[in-house]
Amino acid sequence: MPIEPIVTAVIETTLNTLIKDDPELGRRLSRLKGQVIQVHLKELNKTLTFVFSQQIDVLAHYEGTPDCYLSLNLSILPELREQANITQLIKEDKLVLDGDIQLAQKFSQLMTDCKPDIEEWLSRVTGDVVAHTVVQGIHQVGGFVKARALKHQNHLGQVLTEEWRLLPPALEVAYFCDQVDDVKSQAARLDAKLNALLERV
Q: What is the DSSP string of 30-95?
A: HHTTT-EEEEEETTTTEEEEEEESSSEEEES---S--SEEEEE-GGGGGGGGSHHHHHHHHHTTSE
pLDDT tens for residues 109-161? 888 887 765 556 556 666 666 656 765 776 677 777 777 778 877 777 776 76
pLDDT at position 53 is 93
- The domains found in the chain, sorted by start residue, are 4-116 (3.30.1050.10), 119-200 (no CATH)
* Whole-prediction pTM: 0.58
pLDDT at position 1 is 46
Classify 167 as helix, strand or coil.
Answer: coil
52: pLDDT confidence band, cut at 50, 70 and 90?
very high
Q: By C-alpha distance, which of 107, 86, 160, 115 is closest to 18?
A: 115
Mean of all residue pLDDT scores within the chain: 81
Residue 28 has pLDDT above 80, yes or no: yes
Cα separation, 180 vs 152, whole angstroms: 32
Cα separation, 59 vs 38, whole angstroms: 9
